[in-house]
Amino acid sequence: MDRIEIDGGIQLKGKIKISGSKNASLPILAATLLTDKKLQISNIPELADIHSMISLLRSLNTKIEFSKNCCLIKSNKPDSLNVSYDLVRKMRASFLILGPLLTRYGYAEVSMPGGCAIGTRPVDIHLDGFEKMGAKFKIENGYVKGKVAGKLKGNIVKLKKISVGATENLMMAATLADGITIIKNAAKEPEIIDLANFLNKIGADIKGYGTSEIIIKGKKKLEDCKFKIMPDRIEAGTFVLMVFGCSGKVILENINDNVSDHLIKIFSPLKNLKLEKKNNGEKLYVEKIRKKNVNLKVSTREYPGFPTDLQAQLTASLIKSKGKSEIKENIFENRFMHVSELKRMGADLTLEGSKILINGVKDIYGAEVMATDLRASSCLIIAGLMAKGKTIINRVYHLDRGYENIEKKLQNCGIKIIRVNR
Ligand code: UD1
């Protein structure tokens, strides 16, 4: 198993090219099951999760060429509509193929998903929505078996809780359903807008995306297109927090105006950070400025609030800031595995229910630590950059699920980071 070694105490200085968004690529790849026409999708990051989704699509008779961050795809009729546990267990986003399969073929058997160890993460909201559209489900031997008599029927589907994945799954299913589907209490994440833009480009009729009410008029069939995936706002936000944690000056490249505005907004409480748009928001200048006490109160929220996917990284970036801060996790009930690892490096953190209390310390120290999930692993990199001495991070396969070429990107900014194969 690979591990990462970091020599801490160096400032981050240079330029970083942000990759395409993992969380937009995964649903868009799942959506390619909706048509047998040729699709070309660019700016797809080369990540373990993307390879898992590609393997899954190939198992369903989809032809895919993937090189230089671009996928050429043609989804042919599969021989079997059963997707095995082996393909689904690695990544929860695999469940996003259920909507496209049910709506195009009227049947699907998908293993209950695995994914990050950050809570129970059920799929009831997805299934309730499909049932409203006429699907029937059985759960047998760890599989969700879904069946539709004829075609899915458009309906009003009100999500009992805002869910990114359920919004995406239902939106995809509705594109080929009979009639109009209205998703109420829908998630508004930019990745949902990217998916809707892709679906409209292949001929779907979707309105209201980016708001809490999405209206989809079902079509008989969908067409071909070329599409470019949006930049990864979570990757970009992770680099911003690296600069906040270990100081320096960085220019983030290959982003867009919306992502720049979003980052400026969510990080506005960090007064020791300068964020400035360049080239109409296609670049973002990031600089750590004068030392002030930091006494933050941040709660994770659905978009446009502070993303849960940056909670662990924010925690790490604050452990050496003078003052007391508080981060409340509202989206997942158990996203705190990083806390004990950070404490092993000398951080003064207390977990109180769903709140992390941070008491800034003068120094933290390199240690051998373990990555427990995707974002917890980038949080340990931030801590490693801030620590005195060497940090060794084990189980970095979590990191490879979501960060493209992270060592290279950091090495280019002067950081001493290497990957060691054991
Ligand atoms: C997506 C993102 C993930 C991010 C999360 C929240 C992708 C591939 N993943 O995950 O990185 O952390 O949004 O922004 O885009 N829930 C239920 N029942 C369901 C579905 C969800 O109770 O059927 C709960 C979850 O347990 C969680 C909350 O709803 O507490 C939000 O989850 P959801 O928005 O669905 O997250 P994902 O789509 O899995």
pLDDT digits (tens, 9 = 90+) for 270-293: 999 999 999 999 999 999 998 778
Amino acid present at 261: D
Please state the atom number of ligand 1 nearest to the C-alpha of residue 307: 14
> Residue 83: pLDDT above 90?
no
Q: Packing angle between helix 374-386 and helix 233-246, nearest 10 degrees?
A: 20
Query: Exposed, middle or buried by CB within 10 Å (0-12, 13-18, 19+), for 219?
Result: middle
Q: Bridge partners of 395? A: none
Instruction: Output phi, psi for 393, to 5 deg.
Output: -110, 120
Q: Where are the alpha helices (DSSP H) in 18-123?
A: 22-31, 48-59, 85-88, 98-105
Question: 420 near 1, Cβ under 8 Å?
Answer: no
Helix 190-201 with 22-31: angle, nearest 10 deg: 30
* 338-368 pLDDT tens trace: 999 999 999 999 999 999 999 999 999 999 9
In the chain, where does the domain assigned CATH 3.65.10.10 lie?
2-19+231-421, 22-228
Task: Give the model's pLDDT for residue 241.
Answer: 98
Summarised one tens digit per residue, pLDDT across range 360-394 is 999 999 999 999 889 999 999 999 999 999 999 99
- According to the model, what pLDDT value does residue 117 have? 53
Helices (H) and strands (E) in the chain, counts: 14, 24
Does the pLDDT of residue 118 top 60, yes or no? no
Q: What's 2-19+231-421's CATH class?
A: alpha beta
Angle formed at CA 340 by CA 335 and CA 346, multiple of 5 degrees: 135
Asked if the model's pLDDT at residue 97 lies above 50, the reply is: yes
Confidence band of 115 (pLDDT split at 50, 70, 90): very low
Question: Residue 86: pLDDT band by 50, 70, 90 thresholds?
Answer: confident
Q: Does 3.40.50.300 match the CATH number of domain 22-228? A: no
Predicted confidence band of residue 116 (pLDDT cuts 50, 70, 90)? very low
Summarize the confidence of residues 125-144 as an average pLDDT: 93
If 0-12 CB within 10 Å is exposed, 13-18 middle and 19+ buried, where does residue 314 land? buried
Cα–Cα dist 307/234, whole Å: 8
Q: Which atom of ligand 1 is nearest to the CA of 128?
A: 23
- The two tokens of residue 72 are 């050429």
Residues 192-217: pLDDT tens digits? Answer: 999 999 999 999 999 999 999 999 99
Enzyme catalytic residues: 116
Using CB distances shorter than 6 Å, the residues near ligand 1 are: 23, 26, 92-93, 119, 121-126, 161, 163-166, 191, 308-309, 331-332
> Is the pLDDT score of 16 beyond 50?
yes
Q: Please give the structure tokens belonging to residue 178.
A: 């009979």
Which among 415, 417, 400, 414 has a CA at the least distance from the CA of 19?
Answer: 400
pLDDT higher at 80 or 191: 191
Percent of the chain with pLDDT over 90: 86
Give the residue, by CA position, lying nearest to ligand 1 atom 37.
Answer: 165
- The closest residue, in CA terms, to atom 13 on ligand 1 is 164
